[in-house]
Every structure is written in C-alpha cells, then in structure tokens.
Amino acid sequence: QVQLKESGGGSVQAGGSLRLSCAAVGYTYNPYYMAWFRQAPGKEREAVASIYTRLRGGGHAYADSVKGRFTISKDNANNLIYLEMNNLKPEDTAIYYCAASSRYYSLPPLTPSEYDSWGQGTQVTVSS
C-alpha cells in the first residue's frame, strides 16, 4: 500500500487555474504509475491523467476531456505528482483523487481497477 495525500483544491471561476499536489508517503512498494481521477456527484469515477513514476523512463496519458488544458508532472526526489489545471470549466467540478499502481502496464493506465492505493480526495469547484 501507498499512503497518498492530495492538496491544492479550491473554488475558481471558469477560465481560471488550479494546481493539485499528491504526496506519496509511507509506501511499501514503489509505484509504477500515479494518476488523477475525479468523481462528480451522481457520476462514476473517471480518469483525468496518469504518469509513469519510476525514476528511469517516462510516459503519461490524458482523458480526452482535459487534453490541452491539464498537465500531469512528477517530482521523484520528493515523491510528488502534480496536476496543473488551466482554462477550467464548470464541468471540471468534482472531487479529485490521487491513485497509485503497483503493476506495470505497457501504457499509463486510465482505469480505476488498475490502481490499488487511493487518497482521500480534494474538492475542485468551478463556477460559471
């Protein structure tokens, strides 16, 4: 298991920006991937972005709905990943969760079942 702690959520107007952070602490394995998911009220949890987090190599993937607006990045030295969110829209409103995967895949996974550790989530609210 990996303990994950998100921060950086908040309320912004449409067109604004936020940066989310996720710290991986107390882990018993070194994740291959970390990702951001989100869940809006009454909807299923959906992928936002995923990134390969081992020291050597790279690779990331994004949901179509956020391509060109969101950027996922990592800081291996401090066991952190970030999600830079620009040009936010009201439909981006959700609880954002950080997740970690202990398994290797040929591409960064974007399905909740491929992740085995989850954070508590941080609320992002975008008003029109």
Residues 63-97 pLDDT 10s: 999 999 999 999 988 889 999 999 999 999 999 99
Query: Among all chains, which residue has been given the structure tokens 């921060």?
Result: 7
Which pLDDT band holds residue 117 (cuts at 50, 70, 90)? Answer: very high
Q: Among positive and negative, which fits the CA dihedral 109, 112, 115, 121?
A: positive
Q: Apex CA 60: angle with CA 43 and CA 105, to 5°?
A: 85
Predicted confidence band at 108 (pLDDT cuts at 50, 70, 90)?
A: very high
pLDDT in tens, 25-74: 877 778 899 999 999 999 999 999 999 988 776 789 999 999 999 999 99
Angle at 16 between CA 41 and CA 89, to 5 degrees: 40
Q: In what helix (H) or strand (E) does residue 94 lie, and over which residues does it extend?
A: strand 94-101
DSSP state of 45: -
Q: In angstroms, what is the C-alpha Rg of the chain?
A: 14
Residue 26 contacts residue 3 (beta carbons within 8 Å): yes
